[in-house]
C-alpha cells in the first residue's frame, strides 16, 4: 500500500453493510470506492451531500399514517390489484 494511503475501520450493522455492498456492486463500485466518493463529495462541497434533519411527521401526516395502518389491517376492507382498481374506475 502506498505511504499516502491509510486504513480506516468503521463499525456498521452487518445487514446495512450487506445491503450497501449489494447496491454498490450494482453501481459497479466496491465499498471502499463508494466511501471514497462520498468523502470526496463532502470535501468538494464542504458539506454532507444530502440533508440531515430531525424532522418528524406533522400531526396531519401522523394522523394519516395511523389511519392508513388501521385501514390496511381491517379485514372488512376489500383490496384491489392495480389493474382491477383501474377497471373499477372505468365502470
Report yes or no on 81 lying in a domain: yes
Report yes or no on 30 lying in a domain: no
Report yes or no on 51 lying in a domain: no
Per the listing, cell 471514497 goes with: 36
Report yes or no on 66 lying in a domain: yes
Report yes or no on 78 lying in a domain: yes
Give me the count of residues in the chain.
Answer: 91
Report yes or no on 83 lying in a domain: yes
At 21-53, the pLDDT tens digits run: 999 999 999 999 999 999 999 999 999 998 888
- DSSP percent split of the chain into helix, strand, coil, nearest 5: 55, 0, 45
Give the total number of structural domains in the chain: 1
Overall pTM > 0.85: no
At 9-25, the pLDDT tens digits run: 999 999 999 999 999 99
- 67 is in which domain, residue-wise? 59-90
Report yes or no on 76 lying in a domain: yes
Amino acid at each position: 500500500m502506498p505511504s499516502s494511503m491509510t486504513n480506516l475501520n468503521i463499525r456498521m450493522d452487518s445487514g446495512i453493510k450487506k445491503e450497501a455492498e449489494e447496491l454498490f456492486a450494482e453501481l459497479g463500485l466496491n465499498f471502499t470506492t463508494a466511501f471514497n466518493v462520498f468523502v470526496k463529495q463532502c470535501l468538494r462541497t464542504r458539506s454532507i451531500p444530502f440533508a440531515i434533519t430531525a424532522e418528524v411527521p406533522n400531526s396531519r401526516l401522523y394522523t394519516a399514517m395511523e389511519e392508513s395502518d388501521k385501514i390496511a389491517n381491517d379485514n372488512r376492507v376489500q383490496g384491489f390489484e392495480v389493474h382491477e382498481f383501474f377497471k373499477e374506475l372505468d365502470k
